[in-house]
C-alpha cells in the first residue's frame, strides 16, 4: 500500500519534499472511495485531511431544512482546506462532502497536522495555497449568488463542469444541477432549453453536450 501512496505523491503532489513524502508514506493510508459516497457530514468530527489523488469530491453547505448548496469541487492535487481548519481546531465540520467520481484519497491523520506545518516547508506552502484557492472559489460563489442572474450562474456552472470533465459531454441530470444551484428543476430545465435554442449546448438523456458556440 505504501507503494501506491508513493505513486500518487510523485505524480500528483510532486512539489512535496522527499522527507515529507516519506513521512506521509509511513503514517497515512490510501483509500478508494466509490462515486456517490458521503465522506464528510455536517456536524461530524474529522479524523483525517484528504489529499485527492484521483477522482472528484463535491462540497456542499446544508441548510436547516436539509437543502444543499454547492460550494466547490476538489480535484486531483487538491486538499480540503475546510477539513484542515476543523482538524487544527478540533471542531465539527460545517460542510458535507460527497464523491461524484470514483476517488482515491490519501488520508492524513489529524494528529500530524501541527507537526507537518512546523517541520516541512512544502506542506506549509501547500496548506496556504489551498486556503487561498478555496477562498477565491468561495468569492466566485458569493459573486454568482449576489450579483448574477440564474441564467448567468447556470452558464458559469456548466463551463466549470465541462472544464473539470476535460471533454465535451457531462453526465448530469437537471435535478442534480438544480440541487447544486439551490433552485428548482423546472427553472433549470427552462434555462437549459433556452441555451440549447441558442446553440450553446445540446441536451441528451441524462447528459449535456458542449457546442463550440458556448
What ranges do the domains of the chain cover?
A: 5-119, 148-210
| Other residues' Cβ atoms within 10 Å of the Cβ of residue 86 | 21
Residue 156 pLDDT = 87
CA dist 106 → 5, 52, 134, 149 (Å): 7, 7, 19, 38
Most confident segment among 1-15, 47-61, 127-141 = 47-61
CATH of domain 5-119: 2.60.120.10
Residue 32 pLDDT = 95
Residue 48 pLDDT = 86
* Side-chain-facing half-sphere of 207: CA atoms under 13 Å: 10
- Looking up cell 453547505, which residue turns up? 61
CA distance 104 to 6: 13
Read off the pLDDT band of 80 (50, 70, 90): confident
pLDDT at 123 over 90: yes
pLDDT at 1 over 50: no
- For residue 120, the Cα-to-chain-centroid distance in whole angstroms is 25
Read off the pLDDT band of 46 (50, 70, 90): confident
Is the entire prediction scored with pTM above 0.75? Answer: no
Higher pLDDT, 86 or 111: 111
pLDDT at 83 over 80: no
Q: State the alpha helices, DSSP H only, in 120-170.
A: 121-147, 150-165
Query: Does CATH place domain 148-210 in 1.10.10.10?
Result: yes
Amino acid at each position: 500500500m505504501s507503494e501506491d501512496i508513493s505513486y500518487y505523491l510523485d505524480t500528483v503532489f510532486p512539489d512535496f519534499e522527499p522527507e515529507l513524502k516519506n513521512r506521509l508514506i509511513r503514517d497515512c493510508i490510501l483509500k478508494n472511495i466509490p462515486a456517490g459516497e458521503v465522506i464528510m457530514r455536517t456536524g461530524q468530527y474529522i479524523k483525517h485531511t484528504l489529499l485527492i489523488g484521483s477522482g472528484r469530491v463535491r462540497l456542499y453547505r446544508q441548510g436547516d431544512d436539509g437543502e444543499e448548496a454547492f460550494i466547490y469541487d476538489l480535484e486531483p492535487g487538491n486538499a480540503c482546506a475546510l477539513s484542515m481548519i476543523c482538524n487544527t481546531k478540533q471542531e465539527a465540520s460545517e460542510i458535507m462532502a460527497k464523491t461524484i467520481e470514483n476517488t482515491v484519497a490519501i488520508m492524513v491523520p489529524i494528529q500530524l497536522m501541527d507537526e507537518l506545518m512546523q517541520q516541512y516547508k512544502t506542506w506549509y506552502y501547500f496548506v496556504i495555497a489551498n486556503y487561498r484557492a478555496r477562498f477565491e472559489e468561495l468569492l466566485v460563489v458569493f459573486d454568482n449568488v449576489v450579483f448574477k442572474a440564474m441564467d448567468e450562474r447556470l452558464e458559469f456552472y456548466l463551463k466549470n463542469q465541462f472544464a473539470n470533465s476535460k471533454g465535451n459531454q457531462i453526465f448530469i441530470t437537471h435535478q442534480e444541477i438544480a440541487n447544486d444551484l439551490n433552485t428548482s428543476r423546472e427553472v433549470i430545465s427552462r434555462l437549459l432549453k433556452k441555451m440549447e435554442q441558442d446553440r450553446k449546448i445540446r441536451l441528451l438523456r441524462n447528459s449535456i453536450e458542449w457546442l463550440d458556440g458556448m
